Amino acid sequence: MFSQSVIIRLFCLSLSAIAANAGLAYYPQIPLFAASVKSPRVVAAVKSPPPPPAPIVQKPVSFNIEQHELVGVPEPYNFNSEHKDEYGNEQYRRESGDTQGVVRGSYGYTDANGLHRIVDYVADDDGFRATIRTNEPGLNERHPVSGAVQSPADVSLTAEDTPAQVREQIRQQKPRL
């Protein structure tokens, strides 16, 4: 077996290898001749911690929004889309644009009971304007006090007669508590 002095020297060498892998400087003072077993003096230099990171300074964000004008003449376009599902509900959308940049369109749906909502719109230099036509129940009833038909939004709304089969379904429903 090994003597205690050899074991101590091997231990010190292994510590220096571990310290070197960790980035530390390790300088053992190993006696060359060991007459008696003494614990070796160990001198180690520890790597100083890194300096703290610089503070993060947030600069105020500014936006530079510029008004850009269209270059050239708008390209005219036209598209149509229609869809009918297996329950009898229908949806559509139609839109066109002209060389003046005016967009006109319409979209809407009709359900299997005949209820419909149609939105016609125009977008031009005067902004976006929409007109809604519908025969949904509850939109053409008069106010109990004023007698006026109130528009639910700041749009032009034309309420048309609700289909007879829908009115009948509403009459047959039990009152909800």
89 and 154 inside one domain? yes
Count, in order, helices (H) and strands (E) of the chain.
2, 8
81 and 167, same structural domain?
A: yes
Bridge partners, residue 117, by sequence: 109, 134
Per-residue pLDDT for 162 more than 90?
no
Residue 47 identity: K
* Cβ atoms of residues 149 and 130 within 8 Å: no
Domains held by the chain: number:
2
pLDDT of 39 > 70? The answer is no
| In the block, residue with structure tokens 């359900």 | 111
Judge whether 84 lies within some domain: yes
My answer on whether 107 and 159 are in the same domain is: yes
Are residues 95 and 36 located together in one domain of the fold?
Answer: no
Could you tell me if residue 126 is inside a domain? yes
Query: Do residues 133 and 82 share a domain?
Result: yes
What's the pLDDT band for 32 if we cut at 50, 70, 90? very low
What range defines the domain where residue 96 resides? 77-172
**Do 161 and 116 belong to one domain?**
yes
Q: Whose CA is closest to 82, among 74, 91, 73?
A: 91
Task: Tell me whether residue 101 is in a domain.
Answer: yes
Q: For residue range 139-153, what is the model confidence (pLDDT) as tens digits?
A: 777 767 777 766 555
Same domain, 85 and 158: yes
pLDDT of residue 77: 94
* 151 and 84 housed in the same domain: yes
The tokens for 37 are: 């077993």
